[in-house]
Structures are given as structure tokens and as C-alpha cells.
Amino acid sequence: MPTPVIIDCDPGHDDVFALWLAAGNPAIDLLGVTTVGGNGRLEHTTHNARVALTVAGVEGVPIAAGGGQALAARTHPGDLDPRGQRARRSGAARTHGAAGRAKRA
């Protein structure tokens, strides 16, 4: 019997692979995906989750956008300050790119 799982993630390239692995694993019943802002802005991580599941041919798994920033710590997703203005280049954005998928060459 598959284990029911809801994945909470901030899909950049690493979490996209986690979604693909979960979706293709017969031991996992993927019930849903929730996204958060982390290495990228919330709208990018939610979009990335939708693209990842579409590419994998997954249908019928709901995706819900969650929090855009951490509750207890300051983050710099997508190099934006809290007002949405361009801010300093954070380590996450330098590594993952503005959309959270990959660093541009």
C-alpha cells in the first residue's frame, strides 16, 4: 500500500527532482504539493511545481501556494526586499537564479 504524501517545497532545481522522484515512485501516493518562497519568490516556486508535474505527466495532484517568506527568519527570495524592490544579490539568488531554477551561465 503506497504511503500518502503531501510535499511542501520551494521548487528550484533540487525540489523539482524530488517531485519527479515522488511522482514516479509506486510506494508514494502523492496527494498534493504546497509551495513556499525560499530560494525563489512564491510565484516562481508555484509555477515551477506546476511545470514539474506537467512535464512528469502528473494530473489530479493539487498545488497550493503557501507563505511567501519564512515566519521566523529573514530571507531574500529572488533578490527582492520586502517591498518587492531589487535588493542585494543573496546567496540563494546567485546560486538558483531569480526564478529559483538554475544559475545562468
Ordered by start, the domain boundaries in the chain are 3-96
Q: What is the pLDDT of residue 90?
A: 52
pTM for this model (two decimals): 0.71
Query: What are the pLDDT digits (tens) for 41-94?
Result: 899 999 999 999 999 999 999 999 998 776 776 655 554 555 555 555 555 555
Query: What are the pLDDT digits (tens) for 18-52?
Result: 999 999 999 999 999 999 987 788 999 999 999 99
Average pLDDT, the chain: 80
Question: What is the SS3 string spanning the chain?
Answer: CCEEEEEEECCCHHHHHHHHHHHCCCCEEEEEEEECCCCCCHHHHHHHHHHHHHHCCCCCCCEEECCCCCCCCCCCHHHECCCCCECCCCHHHHHHCCCCCCCCC
